[in-house]
Structure 1
Amino acid sequence: MNNTLFIGLGRMGRPMSSHIAKRFSTSVYDVLKKSVDDAAEESGAEPIYDLKEAAGIDTVILMLPTSAHVESILLEEGLLGRLSAGALIIDMGSSVPASTRQLAEAAAKLGIDYVDAPVSGGISKAATGELTMLVGGEPDAIGRARPFLQTVGSEIVVVGSSGAGHAAKAINNLVSATNIAVVSEAVLRGKSAGIAPERMVEVLNASTGMSQASRVKFVQHILPGSYASNFAYDLMLKDMGIAMQINAPDAASPLTREAYRLLSDGRDVLGDNPDHTEIARVYEHLAGTSISEEEA
C-alpha cells in the first residue's frame, strides 16, 4: 500500500486530503496543529506534527499557498533530502513555474519524480472530488500521479513538462480575473446608459458576451453583494503576477497588463482578506457608483 504524506490542510487541502485518505494510507501535516487534528479526525489519516517524524513516505502531495512555502518544506526543512529514490512529489498548489522546474531538476538528481498539478474548481469541487487538474511533468511521473489525481478530481489536462501546469493555472486565473474586470466595466457602462446592473448581466448571459464571470460570479456573488466565492483576492492577484512573469509579445499583453496594474493599485481600497469577486468593488470605487443590488 502506498504511504502518502499530504501537506497543507487549508480550505482546499483538507477536503482533498480526506479523499486521498479514503484510498491510500495517508499521513497529514500542517503548520497549524488544530488543522492536523481536525483533518485526521475527519478522514482517519495519521496526524504528523513534525515533518522529521514522517518515515517510509513514497508519495508527497503539497497543497500550499506559494512557491516559498513549497521551497521551505522541501529544501529548508529538508523533506526532499529525506525521501528515498523512487518517491513521487505532486505539487497541487499554485507555484511559480521557474521554481517548479528547479525543484523538479533537484528531485530528478535524487531519483524522485516531480509533478505539478494545480487545481481549479474551488472549495465546492474540492469537497465533491470533482476538481480539474492542469498537469506538468514527465510522462512516466504523470502516470504514477494519475491515481491520486483521479481521487480528488474529475478532469485531468496534461499541458506539458515540469512547470507547465503551474503556468497554465496562472494564465487561466489571469483570464478569469480580467473577465471579471471586463464585465464590471461593462455593467458600469450599462448603468450610465440607463441599464440596471442585473439587466446588463442578463444581456451578457443571453448574448455573445457571456462568460463564467457574468454567468456565475456576478449572479452568485457580485450582484447580491455577498462576495463569498471563498477564493481570496490576494491569491488571485498572486496568480496574475505569476502569469505576468511569463513572456508575451508586447503587442499581445496590454489588456492583461492593465488589468493587473489596476487590480494591484486598487487592492488598498478593499480592507482585510477580500474575496476575489471584490474585483468589482475596485471598479465601483473608481466609478464612484455601485454594482451590487445590496448597495444600489
Structure 2
Amino acid sequence: MTTLFLGLGRMGAPMARLHAEAFPTRVFDVFPAAIESVAAASAAEAVTDLAAEGADTDVVILMLPTSSHVEAALRGGDGLLVRLRQGALVIDMGSSEPASTRALAAEAAERGIAYVDAPVSGGIAKAETGELTIMAGGEADAVARAMPHLETVGASIVHVGPAGAGHAAKALNNLVSATNIAAATEAVTVAKRFGIEPATMVEVLNASTGMSQATQVKFPQHILPGTYASRFAYDLMLKDMGIARRMADEVGFSPVTRAAFDALSDGRAALGDHPDHTEIARVYARATGIDIDEGHAS
C-alpha cells in the first residue's frame, strides 16, 4: 500500500516522517527543500513530479494550507481525483472549508474514491510526537480505512460525523481557543489596571472556574514571558475563525463569535509580519496601553 503525502510545512513534515515509519510513503511539497529534508530524515521517498503520481497510489494525505490548495491538487484535468484509481482513499488533514470538503467528497464518491476530512489539533509539538487530536469526518467505512494512517500521528481520534464535519469541528475548536485567549487577556488587562499583577490574576483563573488551556498553557509559556512562540500563526487562527464565523452566520445568533472575530481581525494590522496567535495579548496592549507580558509589566 503506497501513500502520497502532500504538504510538508511545519506540521506536515513531522507528520509525514512519522507516517513513513509505518507505511511506504512518497512525499511532495511545492518547495523542493522541504521534500529533500523529509526524505533525508525518514524512510519517505521524494517525489519531484506530482503530475506523474496517482495511478499506483492507494492513499493520498493532504496537509495543505487552505481549501483552494486542496481543490487545486484534486480537481481539474490533471488533478489527483482523475488520476487515482477506484478504491483509493483521500484524507485531508488540513483546515479546509466544510462546504468545499463536502463537494470534494461527493466528487470523489462519483469516481469510487473514499474521502475523509481529518484535521488536527495540538500544534507542532504534538505533531512531532504523534500525539495529535484528530477530528474525522466521512462515511464510517472510509474513516475505518483511514484509521491506521491517522493512528501514526494521532493519540486521540474522534469520528465526529459525515463529510465536512471534521473541518467544522476543527474551526469551531479554534474559535473557542482564540476566544478563550482573548477573554483571558481582557480579564488580565483589566486586573492590571486595578492593581492586580498579571501572573497573580492568571494564578487566580487557574485555581477557579475561569481556567482554560489558554490560562494553563498559553499565558505561562508564551504571553506572560513575552515570547509569543507557540508556532501557530495568527493568520491561520483568523482563517479558522473566519470559517467558524461563516458557519455561525447560518445559525443566525452568534454575538460572541462575531465580536471575537471582528476585534482580532481589526487588531491584526498592528502586529507586523507573521505574528504568533498568542500575540492576541499585543492587540490588547496596543488598544489599551496596558502591557501584561514581563517585558513591559511594571
Taking the aligned partners of 2:268 and 2:146, their CA distance within structure 1 comes to: 37
Which shows bigger deviation, 113-122 or 73-82?
73-82
Q: Could you report, residue by residue, the CA deviation over 1:169-192 in whole angstroms, capped at 9, with x for unpaired residues?
A: 000000000000000100011011
Q: Give the deviation of 1:250 after TM superposition.
A: 3.7
Q: Give the deviation of 1:157 after TM superposition.
A: 0.8
Q: Could you report, residue by residue, the CA deviation over 1:241-273 in whole angstroms, capped at 9, with x for unpaired residues?
A: 00011145444x111210100000110000000
Taking the aligned partners of 1:83 and 1:250, their CA distance within structure 2 comes to: 40
Q: Give the deviation of 1:20 after TM superposition.
A: 0.7
Q: Give the deviation of 1:288 after TM superposition.
A: 1.1
Name the residue aligned to 2:52.
53
Taking the aligned partners of 1:124 and 1:143, their CA distance within structure 2 comes to: 26
Taking the aligned partners of 1:263 and 1:120, their CA distance within structure 2 comes to: 21
Taking the aligned partners of 1:122 and 1:37, their CA distance within structure 2 comes to: 23
Name the residue aligned to 1:126.
127
Name the residue aligned to 1:9.
8
Taking the aligned partners of 1:231 and 1:223, their CA distance within structure 2 comes to: 17
Name the residue aligned to 2:235.
234
Give the aligned residue type for 1:9. L
1:98 to 2:99 alignment: yes
Secondary structure class of the residue paired with 1:14? helix
Give the aligned residue type for 1:15. P
Give the aligned residue type for 1:34. A
Q: Give the deviation of 1:232 after TM superposition.
A: 0.2
Q: Give the deviation of 1:193 after TM superposition.
A: 1.1
Secondary structure class of the residue paired with 1:151? coil
Name the residue aligned to 1:40.
39
Name the residue aligned to 1:286.
287
Q: Give the deviation of 1:137 after TM superposition.
A: 0.1
Q: Could you report, residue by residue, the CA deviation over 1:112-138 in whole angstroms, capped at 9, with x for unpaired residues?
A: 000000000000000000001001000
Q: Give the deviation of 1:88 after TM superposition.
A: 0.1
TM-score for the superposition, normalised by structure 1:
0.98
Give the aligned residue type for 1:244. R
Name the residue aligned to 1:71.
71
Taking the aligned partners of 1:65 and 1:280, their CA distance within structure 2 comes to: 25
Give the aligned residue type for 1:241. G
Q: Give the deviation of 1:44 after TM superposition.
A: 2.0
Taking the aligned partners of 1:52 and 1:207, their CA distance within structure 2 comes to: 55
Taking the aligned partners of 2:210 and 2:14, their CA distance within structure 1 comes to: 34
Percent identity between matched residues is 63
Taking the aligned partners of 2:74 and 2:85, their CA distance within structure 1 comes to: 13
Give the aligned residue type for 1:187. V
Instruction: Name stretches of at least 5 consecutive residues in structure 2 with no aligned partner.
Output: none
Taking the aligned partners of 1:84 and 1:273, their CA distance within structure 2 comes to: 40
Q: Could you report, residue by residue, the CA deviation over 1:213-264 in whole angstroms, capped at 9, with x for unpaired residues?
A: 011001100000000000000000000000011145444x111210100000
Name the residue aligned to 1:80.
81
Taking the aligned partners of 2:84 and 2:252, their CA distance within structure 1 comes to: 43
Contact 2:28/2:35, CA 8 A, preserved across alignment: yes
Taking the aligned partners of 1:108 and 1:221, their CA distance within structure 2 comes to: 44
Contact 2:193/2:290, CA 8 A, preserved across alignment: no
Ranges of 4+ aligned residues in structure 1 off by more than 4 Å: none
Which shows bigger deviation, 241-250 or 101-110?
241-250
Taking the aligned partners of 2:49 and 2:97, their CA distance within structure 1 comes to: 26
Q: Give the deviation of 1:79 after TM superposition.
A: 1.2
Please provide the CA RMSD for this pair.
0.9
Give the aligned residue type for 2:280. I
Which shows bigger deviation, 242-251 or 96-105?
242-251
Taking the aligned partners of 2:282 and 2:268, their CA distance within structure 1 comes to: 10
Taking the aligned partners of 1:153 and 1:25, their CA distance within structure 2 comes to: 18
Name the residue aligned to 2:182.
181
Name the residue aligned to 2:156.
155
Give the aligned residue type for 1:24. F
Q: Give the deviation of 1:42 after TM superposition.
A: 0.8
Name the residue aligned to 2:115.
114
Secondary structure class of the residue paired with 2:152? helix
Give the aligned residue type for 2:185. S
Secondary structure class of the residue paired with 2:5? strand
